[in-house]
């Protein structure tokens, strides 16, 4: 497994995702989006794995409500420009990816590896 977790240090769901893999002794690479944004290529791979950018935006975030709640916007353009709008954590395993805390999908990945 090649697990990569994109998140923020203060994100509870990011911490829960890291704990999920740590508890199962699965190595992962953690990327703090406060320090380093996703590259265009990483963004494209995650978007492709999820079937589009619409599910990647966190519509419950303060940033989204403040800026976009009542206006039209291009999801992909806004996410590339302002990654604070991403729903976290983003967990990648090769060509697969999940958004948010999704232990069921991660367990499925683990079980397929066995």
Q: So what's the pLDDT on residue 81?
A: 86
Residues counted in the chain:
114
For the domain that residue 7 is a member of, what is the CATH number?
3.40.30.10
Question: Domain range holding 60?
Answer: 3-113
What's the rounded Cα separation, in Å, for the pair 103 and 91?
10
pLDDT digits (tens, 9 = 90+) for 69-111: 667 778 888 888 888 889 999 999 999 999 999 999 999 999 9
**Domain total in the chain:** 1
Percent of the chain with pLDDT over 90: 64
Q: Give one word for 94, left, alpha or beta, with left for phi > 0 and alpha for psi -120 to 50.
A: left
Q: Which residues contact residue 57 at a Cβ distance below 8 angstroms, ignoring those fewer than 6 apart?
A: 64, 75, 78, 79, 85, 86, 87
What's the rounded Cα separation, in Å, for the pair 54 and 35?
24
68 vs 61, higher pLDDT: 61
- Whether the predicted pLDDT of 53 surpasses 70: yes
């Amino acid at each position: 497994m090649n697990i990569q977790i994109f998140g923020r240090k203060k994100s509870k769901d990011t911490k829960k995702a890291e704990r999920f893999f740590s508890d199962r002794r699965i190595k992962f690479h953690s990327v703090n989006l406060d320090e380093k944004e996703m590259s265009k290529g990483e963004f494209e791979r995650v978007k492709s794995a999820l079937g589009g950018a619409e599910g990647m935006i966190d519509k419950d975030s303060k940033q989204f409500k403040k800026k976009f709640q009542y206006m039209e916007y291009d999801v992909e353009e806004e996410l590339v420009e302002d990654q604070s709008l991403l729903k976290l954590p983003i967990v990648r395993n090769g060509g697969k990816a999940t958004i948010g805390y999704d232990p069921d999908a991660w367990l499925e990945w683990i079980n397929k590896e066995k």
